[in-house]
Amino acid sequence: MRTSRLNPVLLGALLLGLGACQRDATVRTEKPAPAAELAATDTAAPAAPLPVRRDWHRLARRTNPRAPLIRYAAVRRPADLPAPALPTEAHLFDLTLKPSEFFRIDPTQPAEVRGREGTTLRLPAGALVDAQQRPVQEPVWLELKECLALADLLLSDHVSTGPGGAPMQAGGMLLVRAVTSKGQALSLAPGAALELNLPAELRAAGRQLYHSPDRQHWSALPAEVAPESGPAYAQASSTGGSSILDTPAESAASSNPEPLAAQPESSGPDWLRSPALGWLSCLRGWNPGDNNLLVPTEADEHTVVRLVYPEAGVILSGQPQTGGYAFQGLPAQQRAVLVGLRYEGGNAFLAVQPLAPGDTAAPLEFREVSLADMEQRLQELR
């Protein structure tokens, strides 16, 4: 029988071809995945850790002024963000102040964030500057605190009085701040404005945006008009607010920005504009009266007394004086509630006294409560 033999030349060529195929296959399997695939992988729990990209915020070219908004979801307070200085002596409002949400944003792009209670904020590209008025290029933390319910306003030390102490009707209060990853406070550039949209039930006619350094002395911001130039905004194309997340994995997943589809329209008439960050409140004038009220309760540094008109959304602060806490310029025909808040010796105390039209105030009766009980009682004010 004749044994067939391969030509040595042909055998070498065949082996060389097989080796080339194997090398080609290896190259293809090790080829880096596209950016979209990497983004999808980041939101899951990978079998092996992926390299962290630290240059995602660097721009390859100048920002398109008509680029769509990027919407960001909230995360838990970042561990590397410096905490505010603790007060030397604790006060009640240090413990009951409404918690904030935090958003990691790219300040070189138009951004939108939504609070868990329905407030929407929009920032144009390049709106944030440092203390030297230099535009910020690195990612920053945007803080949002929503105090919209009456109980939230009371527990966050809100007083609805305008210039000269005139009583005002409140439509909620916000805190909006921006800081670098090292905790450096940022501000809005000259000519730039923050746009905000409150939930529909709070957008009452005649309300104007006010600014305050301390939540009690409010100054009206100048009437805002639509900007003549600058980056266009996209209308939000989906619903639902962001929320503070419970686990690090969820926080990492939700911090990925979500581009919105571009729309030709800019923000509509329901949007308010603020040229400043900080404490903001939506207020309008109120028709006070000529009545005065004295609450015969001993005044001390640990106690505050508020007079609340629930139907009007008015919260007034009693002025301590000999004999108690005084209120002036009150209407005669409206129901009100006196609320006393006290924090002493590490314990919280609450007093609630309804007042019908024409009633005089009795001494407040304080009862020790937990902070949770205090919040629950104040939520029942209607």
Strand, coil or helix: 376:
helix
pTM, full prediction: 0.70
The answer for 329, left when phi > 0, alpha when psi is -120 to 50, beta otherwise, is left
Per-residue pLDDT of 310-332, as tens digits, reads 988 999 999 999 899 999 989 88
187 φ/ψ angles, rounded to the nearest 5 degrees: -135, 175
Looking at residue 374, its pLDDT comes to 93
Are the C-beta atoms of 243 and 235 separated by less than 8 Å? Answer: no
Buried b (16+ CB within 10 A) or exposed e, 94-117: eebbbebbbbbbbbbbbbbbbbeb
Ranges for all domains in the chain classified under CATH 2.60.40: 291-379
Q: What CATH class has 291-379?
A: mainly beta
Looking at residue 340, its pLDDT comes to 96
How many residues belong to the chain?
A: 382
Looking at residue 124, its pLDDT comes to 95
Buried b (16+ CB within 10 A) or exposed e, 170-203: bbbbbbbbbbbeeeeebbbbeebbbbbbbbeebb
Strand, coil or helix: 113:
strand
Below-70 pLDDT ranges, the chain: 1-69, 83-90, 201, 203-206, 223-269
Are the C-beta atoms of 157 and 95 separated by less than 8 Å? Answer: no
The torsion angle over the Cα atoms of residues 293, 296, 301 and 303, rounded to 10 degrees, is -80
CB atoms within 10 A of CB 154: 24
